[in-house]
Amino acid sequence: MKPKELSTIIEVRHTADLTALAGKTQHSFQLFVCLHNGTADPMIVFSKMNRNFVIQKPEDTKMLINIFKSKIHRVKVTQAELNYVGSITIDEDLLEAAGIRENERVQIVNNNNGERIETYAIKGKRGSGIICLNGAAARKAQPGDIVIIISYAWMTPEEAATHKPTVVFPDENNRVVK
Protein backbone atom coordinates (compact mmCIF):
# COMPACT_ATOMS: atom_id res chain seq x y z
CA MET A 1 0.00 0.00 0.00
CA LYS A 2 1.39 3.37 -0.99
CA PRO A 3 1.30 5.91 1.88
CA LYS A 4 -1.59 8.36 1.54
CA GLU A 5 -1.36 11.86 3.01
CA LEU A 6 -3.68 12.47 5.95
CA SER A 7 -4.48 16.07 6.81
CA THR A 8 -6.23 15.80 10.20
CA ILE A 9 -5.36 13.66 13.19
CA ILE A 10 -7.83 13.88 16.06
CA GLU A 11 -6.40 11.65 18.78
CA VAL A 12 -3.00 9.97 19.14
CA ARG A 13 -3.14 6.64 20.98
CA HIS A 14 0.49 5.46 20.84
CA THR A 15 3.73 6.95 19.57
CA ALA A 16 7.21 5.68 18.83
CA ASP A 17 10.17 7.54 17.36
CA LEU A 18 11.92 5.68 14.57
CA THR A 19 15.17 6.43 12.84
CA ALA A 20 16.02 4.86 9.50
CA LEU A 21 19.32 4.93 7.65
CA ALA A 22 19.22 5.15 3.87
CA GLY A 23 22.76 5.09 2.58
CA LYS A 24 24.53 7.91 4.43
CA THR A 25 21.34 9.95 4.92
CA GLN A 26 19.52 9.59 8.21
CA HIS A 27 15.73 9.96 8.18
CA SER A 28 13.82 10.46 11.41
CA PHE A 29 10.07 10.18 11.65
CA GLN A 30 7.37 9.40 14.16
CA LEU A 31 5.06 6.41 13.96
CA PHE A 32 1.74 6.46 15.81
CA VAL A 33 -1.63 4.83 16.04
CA CYS A 34 -4.45 7.35 16.00
CA LEU A 35 -8.11 8.02 15.49
CA HIS A 36 -8.67 10.35 12.56
CA ASN A 37 -11.25 12.69 11.11
CA GLY A 38 -13.84 11.94 13.79
CA THR A 39 -14.13 8.22 13.00
CA ALA A 40 -13.29 5.30 15.24
CA ASP A 41 -11.04 3.64 12.66
CA PRO A 42 -7.52 3.33 14.06
CA MET A 43 -4.66 3.76 11.62
CA ILE A 44 -0.92 3.45 11.77
CA VAL A 45 0.51 6.72 10.52
CA PHE A 46 3.98 8.16 10.21
CA SER A 47 4.83 11.80 10.34
CA LYS A 48 7.74 13.28 8.38
CA MET A 49 8.50 16.95 7.92
CA ASN A 50 5.14 17.95 9.49
CA ARG A 51 3.18 15.85 7.00
CA ASN A 52 1.22 12.75 8.08
CA PHE A 53 0.99 9.62 5.94
CA VAL A 54 -1.19 6.52 6.45
CA ILE A 55 0.90 3.37 6.13
CA GLN A 56 -1.54 0.78 7.49
CA LYS A 57 -5.29 0.65 7.93
CA PRO A 58 -7.34 -1.93 9.89
CA GLU A 59 -8.62 -3.70 6.79
CA ASP A 60 -4.99 -4.35 5.80
CA THR A 61 -4.33 -6.52 8.87
CA LYS A 62 -6.16 -8.61 11.43
CA MET A 63 -6.09 -7.87 15.13
CA LEU A 64 -3.66 -10.05 17.07
CA ILE A 65 -3.87 -10.99 20.73
CA ASN A 66 -1.09 -12.33 22.95
CA ILE A 67 -2.04 -15.84 24.14
CA PHE A 68 -0.44 -18.33 26.54
CA LYS A 69 1.46 -20.72 24.23
CA SER A 70 3.27 -23.11 26.57
CA LYS A 71 4.90 -23.51 29.95
CA ILE A 72 7.36 -25.60 31.89
CA HIS A 73 5.53 -25.94 35.20
CA ARG A 74 7.37 -26.07 38.55
CA VAL A 75 10.95 -26.64 37.45
CA LYS A 76 13.88 -26.26 39.87
CA VAL A 77 16.56 -23.57 39.35
CA THR A 78 19.95 -25.32 39.25
CA GLN A 79 22.21 -22.27 38.76
CA ALA A 80 22.28 -18.49 38.86
CA GLU A 81 25.15 -16.83 36.94
CA LEU A 82 25.29 -13.10 37.61
CA ASN A 83 28.31 -12.43 35.38
CA TYR A 84 26.73 -13.64 32.15
CA VAL A 85 25.05 -11.58 29.44
CA GLY A 86 21.36 -12.14 30.25
CA SER A 87 18.85 -14.91 29.51
CA ILE A 88 17.83 -18.25 31.01
CA THR A 89 19.57 -21.49 30.05
CA ILE A 90 17.09 -24.36 29.78
CA ASP A 91 17.74 -28.07 29.15
CA GLU A 92 17.13 -28.66 25.43
CA ASP A 93 14.74 -31.55 26.21
CA LEU A 94 12.52 -29.19 28.21
CA LEU A 95 12.62 -26.52 25.48
CA GLU A 96 11.65 -29.08 22.86
CA ALA A 97 8.83 -30.57 24.96
CA ALA A 98 7.35 -27.10 25.59
CA GLY A 99 7.82 -25.90 22.00
CA ILE A 100 9.99 -22.98 23.13
CA ARG A 101 12.58 -21.88 20.58
CA GLU A 102 16.06 -20.68 21.38
CA ASN A 103 16.03 -16.87 21.76
CA GLU A 104 12.26 -16.86 22.29
CA ARG A 105 10.97 -14.41 24.88
CA VAL A 106 9.83 -16.11 28.06
CA GLN A 107 8.37 -15.05 31.38
CA ILE A 108 9.74 -16.61 34.55
CA VAL A 109 7.56 -16.75 37.66
CA ASN A 110 9.40 -17.61 40.88
CA ASN A 111 7.13 -19.54 43.25
CA ASN A 112 9.52 -19.00 46.19
CA ASN A 113 9.65 -15.20 46.18
CA GLY A 114 6.89 -14.04 43.81
CA GLU A 115 9.29 -12.40 41.31
CA ARG A 116 8.23 -12.21 37.65
CA ILE A 117 10.78 -11.44 34.97
CA GLU A 118 11.03 -11.58 31.19
CA THR A 119 14.10 -12.68 29.30
CA TYR A 120 14.93 -15.02 26.41
CA ALA A 121 15.66 -18.75 26.33
CA ILE A 122 18.96 -20.33 25.37
CA LYS A 123 19.63 -24.05 24.91
CA GLY A 124 21.28 -25.93 27.71
CA LYS A 125 22.84 -29.37 27.44
CA ARG A 126 20.23 -31.98 26.50
CA GLY A 127 19.31 -34.24 29.41
CA SER A 128 21.23 -32.14 31.96
CA GLY A 129 18.17 -30.71 33.74
CA ILE A 130 19.84 -27.26 33.71
CA ILE A 131 17.73 -24.22 34.57
CA CYS A 132 20.15 -21.32 34.95
CA LEU A 133 19.20 -17.67 35.33
CA ASN A 134 21.90 -15.49 33.78
CA GLY A 135 22.91 -11.86 34.18
CA ALA A 136 20.55 -9.55 36.07
CA ALA A 137 17.93 -12.33 36.19
CA ALA A 138 20.27 -14.22 38.54
CA ARG A 139 19.30 -11.70 41.25
CA LYS A 140 15.67 -12.87 41.03
CA ALA A 141 16.18 -16.56 41.91
CA GLN A 142 18.63 -18.86 43.61
CA PRO A 143 19.42 -22.55 43.11
CA GLY A 144 16.61 -24.65 44.53
CA ASP A 145 13.85 -22.11 43.80
CA ILE A 146 10.82 -23.48 41.94
CA VAL A 147 9.88 -21.49 38.83
CA ILE A 148 7.36 -21.60 36.02
CA ILE A 149 8.67 -20.71 32.54
CA ILE A 150 5.92 -19.37 30.28
CA SER A 151 5.89 -18.51 26.56
CA TYR A 152 3.25 -16.55 24.68
CA ALA A 153 2.31 -16.23 21.00
CA TRP A 154 0.51 -13.60 18.91
CA MET A 155 -2.61 -15.03 17.26
CA THR A 156 -5.77 -13.85 15.62
CA PRO A 157 -8.87 -14.32 17.79
CA GLU A 158 -9.89 -17.14 15.42
CA GLU A 159 -6.56 -18.96 15.94
CA ALA A 160 -6.73 -18.39 19.70
CA ALA A 161 -10.22 -19.95 19.86
CA THR A 162 -8.80 -23.35 18.85
CA HIS A 163 -5.31 -23.07 20.37
CA LYS A 164 -4.38 -25.63 23.02
CA PRO A 165 -1.35 -24.62 25.11
CA THR A 166 1.42 -27.11 25.83
CA VAL A 167 2.17 -27.74 29.50
CA VAL A 168 5.24 -29.69 30.57
CA PHE A 169 5.41 -31.16 34.09
CA PRO A 170 9.07 -32.08 34.73
CA ASP A 171 10.11 -34.47 37.51
CA GLU A 172 12.13 -33.42 40.60
CA ASN A 173 15.36 -33.61 38.52
CA ASN A 174 14.03 -31.32 35.75
CA ARG A 175 13.59 -34.21 33.34
CA VAL A 176 10.65 -34.48 30.95
CA VAL A 177 8.13 -37.02 32.22
CA LYS A 178 7.11 -39.22 29.30
Question: Hey, which residues are catalytic here?
Answer: 87, 120
Q: Looking at the chain, how many residues does it have?
A: 178
Taking alpha carbons only, the member of 37, 73, 72, 40 closest to residue 58 is: 40
> Which DSSP string corresponds to 152-175?
EEEE-HHHHHH---EEE---TTSP
> Which DSSP string corresponds to 17-54?
EEEEEETTEEEEEEEEEEEETT---EEEEEEETTEEEE
| φ and ψ at residue 111, rounded to 5 degrees | -70, -25
SS3 content of the chain, % helix, strand, coil (to 5): 10, 50, 35
Taking alpha carbons only, the member of 93, 95, 88, 91 closest to residue 70 is: 95
